[in-house]
Amino acid sequence: MIQRTLATFMLALSLATLAGCASPSVITLNDGREIQAVDTPKYDEESGFYEFEQLDGKHTRINKDQIRTVKEL
């Protein structure tokens, strides 16, 4: 019983630590749409696209010319 409680506590502590490392962002496009990202988007200078992961787990690339703002929550 104690091992199970200890394992559950360690799992919860690990998840809380990982959640603290992420800084979710909101990306506002020029047409007014808003997209939520799990973390801050990374900009690829070679291609001119921002790359990020949406909340549903889908990896997305958007041209920098289509983005108005990127704000952390």
The domains of the chain are located at 23-73
Using 70 as the pLDDT threshold, list the residues of the chain that sit under it: 1-2, 6, 9-22
pLDDT at residue number 34: 97
Q: Which fold would CATH assign to domain 23-73?
A: SH3 type barrels. (2.30.30)
Cα–Cα distance list, 17 to 25, 41, 64 (Å): 18, 21, 32
Among 37, 34, 15, which Cα is nearest to 25's? Answer: 37
How confident is the prediction for the chain on average, in pLDDT?
Answer: 86
Q: In which element (H, E) is residue 12 found? A: helix 2-21
pLDDT of the residue at 4: 75
* pLDDT at residue 14, rounded to an integer: 65
Instruction: Assign 56 to helix, strand or coil.
Output: coil
pLDDT at 69: 97
| CA–CA distance, 55 with 27 (Å, rounded to integer) | 12
